Structure 1
Amino acid sequence: MSTSEPRPPMSKAEYVYSVLLDDIRHSRIPGGTALRAGEVARRLGVSVTPVREALRRLEKDQLISYEAHHGATVVDLGDEALAEYYGLRAVVEGLGARLAAARITPADLAGLRELHASMADDAEHGRYDRLGEQSRRFHLRIVDIGGPAFLGGHARSVRDNFPVPAEASLWLAETQVKAQLEAHEGILAALEAGDADAAERIMIGHVRRAGDHRTHH
């Protein structure tokens, strides 16, 4: 390995972990699915040892559980966990928006407006599949602006520890997209005005609406 390489290549266990994590997060491997080390090893072309290591990490992340005679199973989170997830996101992202109202710079605001304009353009042209990831970036950028020391990291870990099936995204529901984009506009206006109360209130309502949509579908 040349000394110019910035970091060592990903280990096999790291590779298996990243693939499984991505599959679980996007519900390509749904809750309740049994994960057999031998099958995973064959699918990814590695030996069973790195798979076992990756499964132990996923257990630590509380994304899989081990049961006697069943082995590793992807955790199936029900409606209560769903409500808790959106409740926690509303608090963390709401606080992020409140703090961002006092700290946001014109450059920050311009970046958020650019992201919002790109989302509005995608929505107008029916490219709904692009909106979920852009919305995630929009929300996390606001939290990073408001809480660069701790809050941004918390917001990411909350989102990363809960699998959201791509098809459950509110951004794929055409009837919901307009209201969602209007909420983003409201948040931007509140941030520009330095109105911490409004920024927090709109963000909380916006996140809770996404939770209600998931719970009833």
Structure 2
Amino acid sequence: MSKADYAYEVLLEEIRTGQIPGGTALRAAAVAARLGVSVTPVREALRRLEKDRLISYEAHHGATVVDLGDEALAEFYGVRAVVEGLGARLAASRVTAVELADLRELHRSMAEAAAAGRLEELGAGSERFHLRIADIGGPAFLGQHARAVRASFPVPATASLWLDPEVAARQLEAHERILRALEEGDGTTAERVMIEHVEAGAVHRREHGASPA
């Protein structure tokens, strides 16, 4: 990994997880000193983040992390629902027995973590579950697009909806319904449940400020 790639990956993760909140000014020299690299790779990383629309440049202020509001939140979940719903519909006709078994194992591990109270593990598990289905449904494009959509919206990791035991139970039940639809080859139901599942996350995020997992 080049120094520019390193700086980009660190800043991207920090912005995505809310460690660097919206509205924060990013000074190349300060970031370079913190990461132990020169200013040049940091500037390159900032240019890439600007293309990702995660930072903006303003006169006399330099680079600032974009502060996304309610309209961006609604758009984010809307795009996710469409992309991941389509992925589920296509996956119903393409998923193999091995892939279903892998999804089942992932779901089982999440259920066990929830039962043991390890709720902090569920957000990452959910992301793997969703992206795996998108990969199965659209290996040429959808999986990559689903990842790009998720990477475009900063989220605080400590505010995951999966940290609420009651919400987590409902979300796991939705995963179970999606799995049943995939097993039955029912693309219509898989898409509908996936869309409802993602939209439920949007409602929770608007009401509680939770992360989109």
Q: Structure 2 stretches of 5 or more lacking a match?
A: 209-213
Tell me if 1:140 matches 2:135: no
Tell me if 1:121 matches 2:112: yes
CA distance in 1, matches of 2:35, 2:169: 41
Partner of 1:91: 82
Tell me if 1:31 matches 2:28: no
Matches within 5 A, 1:1-217: 10-217=1-208
* Fraction of identical pairs, as percent: 72
RMSD across aligned positions (CA): 0.8
User: Which amino acid is the alignment partner of residue 16 of structure 1?
Assistant: A
The 4+ residue runs of structure 1 with deviation greater than 6 A are none
TM-score, normalised by the number of residues in structure 2: 0.96
Q: Structure 1 stretches of 5 or more lacking a match?
A: 1-9
Partner of 1:7: none
Partner-residue secondary structure (3-state), 1:216? helix
Partner-residue secondary structure (3-state), 2:60? coil
Structure 1 residue 12, shift from structure 2 partner: 1.4
Which whole-Å deviations, capped at 9, do the CAs of 1:18-69 have from their partners, x for residues lacking one?
Answer: 1111101111001110001111111111221111111111111111000001
Which whole-Å deviations, capped at 9, do the CAs of 1:111-138 have from their partners, x for residues lacking one?
Answer: 0000000000000001011100110000
CA distance in 2, matches of 1:14, 1:114: 33
Partner of 2:211: none
TM-score, normalised by the number of residues in structure 1: 0.94
Structure 1 residue 168, shift from structure 2 partner: 2.5
Structure 1 residue 85, shift from structure 2 partner: 0.4
Partner of 1:3: none
**Structure of greater Rg:** 1
